[in-house]
Amino acid sequence: MYQLDFSKPQHIHFIGIGGISMSGLAKLLLGKKFTVSGSDGSASALTNELESLGARIYIGQSASNIEDGIDVVVYTAAIHPDNPEYAECKRRGLPMLSRAALLGQLMKLYEFPIAIAGTHGKTTTTSMVSEILLRCDTDPTLAVGGMLKSINGNLRIGSEKFFVAEACEYTNSYLEFFPKTSVILNIEEDHLDFFKDLDDIRRSFRAFAELLPEDGTLVINSDIERVSEITDGLKCKVITFGHSKDSDYHAEDIGYESTGHPSYTLCHGDEKYKVTLGVVGEHNVYNSLAAIAIADLFTLDRDKTLEALKAFTGTERRFEIKGSIGGIKIIDDYAHHPSEIKATLKAMEKYPHDKLWCVFQPHTYTRTKAFLDEFAEALKTADTVILADIYAARETDTLGVSSKDIADRINASGGKAVYFSYFDDIENYLLQNAEGGDVILTMGAGDVYKIGDRLLGK
C-alpha cells in the first residue's frame, strides 16, 4: 500500500470529496499544506468551504478531472471500478488509497488514536468524547461523522496527542485503522449488501478488536449477544459498559426531565454519581457510559466530563430541533435502521408533543428489502407515518421493493401510514393536516431533511 509522508505535501485528489468524512480529511490535508482537488455529484456547503480553503472542486465525475500532477488519489467505498475517474486513475497507474486507508495512516501520527465503532450511535458517541476532550483542554484532533456545533464543522485539527475518529464497519473499512483505544457500542445486522449475515458482521468486529496492541484498550457494550466471542483472548485491556451490574460501568435510576432529557446514577465500582445529559433518549445513556469510560481511562477531570455531557445537545441530523411553524415543531433525525428508529421514537415518548407525524425515507433498496417487517414494526408507534421514496445512495433498483410496501404493512398491523412519491405532496399533506402542538419528525439518512427545511422556509 502507498504510504504518505505527511511532512512532504503532495497533490491529492478525492473522488467523492463532498462526503462528511472525505471533506474532513481534505480539510486536514489542506491544513498540512497539501494541494487538494476533488469531485462530487453536486455542490454543497462542504464543497464550497473546501473551495474557499483553496481546494479545486469539480462538480460531476469525469476522466478529464484527473489532471496532470496528481500524486495520490483517495476514494470512498461508494466508488466502483466503472467510475470514470477511478478507471482513469487505474489506466494511468496512479497510487490509490481508500478513505479508510488514509484515515488509518493519519492515526499513526497521534499518541492516542481513538476509534469509535458500532452499528448505531457512532456519531453521537464520537461527539460526546470530543466534547469531553475539548472541555478538558486537551487540544484534540477530531474527525466526526456529522456537523458538531462546538467546532462549527466535522473536523478539528489540534495537537498530535488525541485523535478521535468514527470507525465504520461497511466494506470492513475500519480494519485499515491503527487505534490504541477502540469502542464497540453494539453489533446488529446492517449493510447486508456487503456482509453475508450477522455472523459475518460479528467476525468483522472481532477482527476490529484484534487491531488493538497489547497496551491498548477496548471499551465494549456487555449487552452485545455472546460478547465473549468478541473479547476472549484479546491481548489488550477490556472495559465493559451496559445494563448489567457486572459491567464496569452501568446506569441506575434513569429518569427524564420535562424536556425529555435523561439523568441517571452512574455506577463504577464503589463510585456512584449523578449524570444529566443534554440529548434525549435512553440509548444515549449507554452512549454516554462509553464516553465516560474513555474519559476515566485517560484520567480526565470528572466535573468537566459531566459538564461536557450536560452541555452537549447533539450533532446535526441527530434529533436536531430545526424550528417551528404555526406552533408545529420540526425535528430531524438520521435514524435509518429499525433499531435506530425504535430508539428515536422511544425518545419521542418523553418529549412534549400532541401528535407525532413521522416522515421516513428508507435508505438503500438492500436495507429496505432486508428489514421490511422490522421497519413497519418500528415505525407504527408514530401517530401517522408518511413514507417517501427510497433513497438509492450507491444502489440501483433491482429488488422490486418500494416504500409503499412498508406503508401497507403498517396499515395492515393497525397503524396509520401514507405513501407519496414526491416531497411536494408530503409537504402539502403536512400543511393540511398538522396542527399547533404537533411534532413533524423527518427521519432517514438521505435528503428527507429538506422537507423540514422547506416547511420552515429555509
Residues designated catalytic:
122-123, 166
What does DSSP say about strands 11-15 and 35-40: parallel, antiparallel, or unpaired?
Answer: parallel
C-alpha 333 chain-centroid distance: 11
Coil/strand/helix, residue 380: coil
Apex 148 CA angle, 253 and 218, nearest 5: 60
Coil/strand/helix, residue 112: strand
**Residue 130 CB contacts under 8 Å (≥ 6 apart), including other chains:** 140, 142, 144, 148, 150, 151, 156, 164
Indicate the helix (H) or strand (E) that contains 198. Answer: helix 198-209
**What's 278's DSSP letter?**
S
Residue 181, beta-bridge partner list = 114, 217
CA distance 375 to 369: 10
Indicate the helix (H) or strand (E) that contains 353. Answer: none
Closest CA to 141 of 106, 94, 179: 106
**Residue 447 CB contacts under 8 Å (≥ 6 apart), including other chains:** 361, 391
| Largest separation between any pair of C-alpha atoms in the chain | 64
Q: Which three cell numbers mark 210?
A: 484484534
CB 357 within 8 A of CB 430: yes
CA distance 211 to 334: 29
Closest CA to 281 of 322, 333, 245, 327: 333
